Structure 1
């Protein structure tokens, strides 16, 4: 079923452009993500499928949601890291710490 709005909404995209959408409009997926009030929807959009975490080691090619899922799976606390570079740095530091024993020498 296609997502359908119950009322008119104003949405600002990532470029700051305002979009006015109503019940008869087709709502693009990228704008539907920005409509957070559940009461705005007569028929809400389908939820996004869960992110697939790649089999490789985390890298710049991964998305931030993939990195967050990886960190959660490995029980890595990301703290205030929200940007990709910061999240990657926290994950790398956690990997380095897990490869080092309590005395600072490589774990065996």
Structure 2
């Protein structure tokens, strides 16, 4: 019973978060203090620094701003799309067809 509830929460969260992020303004995460531990403790930027801000600008089609925050966004966001589609399939009790079903 608990596994089923956790499964539904995970799937619905995966489906709804992109829609919520699109409704927020592109610069929603641009202001405020950093929460990156490597930057707070060691003072150096990790590879993920700026990825949330870059993702927000990417999904709002502000590609040059996204590039300036973190260049990895052009790899990470397209990789998230199959996981989002997979959540729709899982909601219906199915698996992705073909090679995508085996990869995700």
TM-score normalised to structure 1 length = 0.26
More helix by percentage: 2
**Larger-Rg structure:** 1
Name which structure has the greater RCO, CA cutoff 8 Å, separation 6+: 2
